[in-house]
Structure 1
């Protein structure tokens, strides 16, 4: 499986943020997108997720046989917001996402297993809004586990996490990659991952392609 971006161009309003963006991410690989505020990191992630249209270029996910796969069915997108209802219990939120994003083969762990995986055993019965900001972000990460999808698109995934939770996140991503998954993350901070590709957006009209540099 490969995720391939070719000559992507994106804008905010009338301003072009980036152009000629290209990269390839294969099974077991991660790409880290960096750059200053306003350089277009979130815009690029939303284009990859199919939430925004690119001005030009394309982003495709190919199966092992070369067949194009629908991003909406094979990717998880985690944005700045956690996409959880504050009034619903933690378990109810995760159960909703498991049903909504279910795969045909039923892969994915239970809500309780996902909550345990992010180190929050015992909070399933609590309304999501009762949790601290860091706990809410960890439950948002648990959403990636209840329905297995090969491509993770992550926008500032460690926002609000403490150092211990940062390590938990890195372990989740390593396990995902080890199972043949792919990850593309936009961030200002090192994510504790080794041997990743990097893509730096330098600002207005930035043009870049992914490198094989390591970020430790």
Structure 2
């Protein structure tokens, strides 16, 4: 299980523009790192690099277990990382039930996990509706179902609460809190501060 994420001298560009250079940080179990900055500052690019979807120009991204031993990056990402991008990645022609089942089955789950996801995010009244008929907030809740339906140690979240109303923002913050209490790790790109104790990375400045 991932107990730490480390970035060493990480450099990432988009096109000809350098987003950040020589970034170093370590995030440990039970911690959340919030990424802030203007649009185009590199928040999404950093998340994608950690997820293995974007190759850095230089530097390394490492994962460690509870004893500090390095984990194979490919295996760690395949088994222990959730990436929830600003696009939900849902298939409009499926019902919400089919989509939730597919997502959790692909990631590995138990039936309890699927049922729990439906309970946590208020999906039961939506399960027989086609995804294309859901509102933006409902689609985001459906996408979030994979986080609790197929538990993984590291959550990478890109503006996760943008389409949610107040009730579901509060509910999702509670799920984040529980994840951290269970020694999970979270890296989240945000515009608004989260009501959680967190570290913050703003355009390359760590605090």
Q: TM-score, normalised by structure 2?
A: 0.92
Partner of 2:88: 82
CA distance in 2, matches of 1:191, 1:100: 30
Q: 1:3 aligns with which of 2, 5, 14?
A: 5
Partner of 1:136: 139
Change (3 A) 1:20 1:109: farther
| Deviations 1:175-203, CA, capped at 9 Å, x for gaps | 1111111100011112222x2111111xx
Q: Does structure 2 retain, via aligned residues, the 8 Å contact 1:114–1:143? A: yes
| Deviations 1:2-60, CA, capped at 9 Å, x for gaps | 11111111111111111121211111110001011111111111001000000011111
* Pairs aligned (count): 201
CA distance in 1, matches of 2:37, 2:118: 32
| Deviations 1:49-81, CA, capped at 9 Å, x for gaps | 000000011111111131314223210000011
Partner of 1:162: 165
Cα RMSD, aligned residues only: 1.5
Matches within 5 A, 1:191-210: 191-193=194-196, 195-201=197-203, 207-208=204-205, 210=206
CA distance in 1, matches of 2:30, 2:79: 19
Unaligned runs of 5+ in 1: 202-206, 212-216
Partner of 1:214: none
CA distance in 2, matches of 1:18, 1:78: 22
CA distance in 1, matches of 2:175, 2:35: 19
Q: Does structure 2 retain, via aligned residues, the 8 Å contact 1:109–1:145? A: no
Q: 1:48 aligns with which of 50, 57, 64?
A: 50
Q: TM-score, normalised by structure 1?
A: 0.88
Does structure 1 residue 96 correspond to structure 2 residue 98?
Answer: no
Bigger helix share: 2
How much does 1:110 deviate? 3.0
Partner of 1:72: 78
